[in-house]
Every structure is written in structure tokens, then in C-alpha cells.
Amino acid sequence: MDQRTTGLNITIFFCQQLDADQDKNRRSLEKELGSRIRFFPLPCSGRIDPLHLLRALESGADMVYLITCPEGACRYREGNLRAWKRVRYARKLIEEIGLEGARIELITGTAATLGGIDAIARDLLAREAVVGISPVK
């Protein structure tokens, strides 16, 4: 599937501890794909607020992903656990208004995903057609 023709906009929030070269990797991917993909690095995924996830949907994202550190590898001990609770709460809110909860997804980094934020983003783009274009637009 060609990422340029699907037309879905993706927002990715991610823990800065996940990828040492994250600035270079995300900038090259943003340059390649244009405005279809937006990255927001966080000092820790546990710092995400459900409002950030909802605002991303409100701003035109069709899918919002939060990528956390691998379990047990969080520099701040329980950031990925806090992130999971906040994603669950945001999903509950959007389901209450009639949107699919699958529009917000948490991805826990693993040893395989530590290859870089660009590798993770390309994987997400390859499977993005699950929910379709957001009716919020």
C-alpha cells in the first residue's frame, strides 16, 4: 500500500528515551511524507495527558499513537504504566461520543522497536487503514 495515496493523517507521541537519533529520524520521515505524519517527542510517555490525545484528533489526525519505552525500561520507573491509564481514559471518552476507540493506540517499545522511531512509524503507516478517515474533519 502506498502511504501517499491513503490520505490518513497520523500523529505520533513518543518517549524521547526510545531513540537516541530521534530528531534526525523523525525529520527525515516528516520531510518524506509531508504533513500526513506529525511527531511529538515527550520527555517520558507518562507525561502525556488525555487532552493531548484528544486535541490531536480534533486537529485532524485520523490515528493517534503513543509509543512508550519497553516494560521495565522506563527511566522514570512507571511512566509507561501512567501512559497506559491515560490512553485507556482517552479511548473511553472518544467511544462515548461515538468514535472508534482504536483511533488512539498505545504501542509498547520492545527490543525490536529500538531500531528507531522511523522504523516504528513506517510499520504504523503500513497498517494504518484499520479505521479510515476521521469523521471529525
Tell me the domains of the chain and their CATH numbers: 6-129 (3.40.50)
Nearest to 117 by CA among 9, 44, 20: 20
Identify whether the C-beta of residue 83 lies closer than 8 Å to the C-beta of residue 48: yes
Mean pLDDT over residues 47-51, rounded? Answer: 95
Q: Is the pLDDT of residue 55 over 50?
A: yes
Contact partners, residue 22, CB within 8 Å, separation at least 6: 14, 16, 41, 116, 117
All 3 cell numbers of residue 5? 495515496
Q: Is the pLDDT of residue 30 over 60?
A: yes
Mean pLDDT over residues 89-118, rounded? Answer: 84
CA dihedral angle for residue 134, residue 124, residue 52, residue 132, rounded to 10 degrees:
10
Identify whether the C-beta of residue 67 lies closer than 8 Å to the C-beta of residue 25: no
Cα 86 versus chain centre, distance:
13
Q: Is the pLDDT of residue 104 over 80?
A: yes
Confidence of residue 96 (pLDDT cuts 50, 70, 90): very high
Mean pLDDT over residues 75-87, rounded? Answer: 89
Q: Which residues pair with 129 in a beta bridge?
A: none
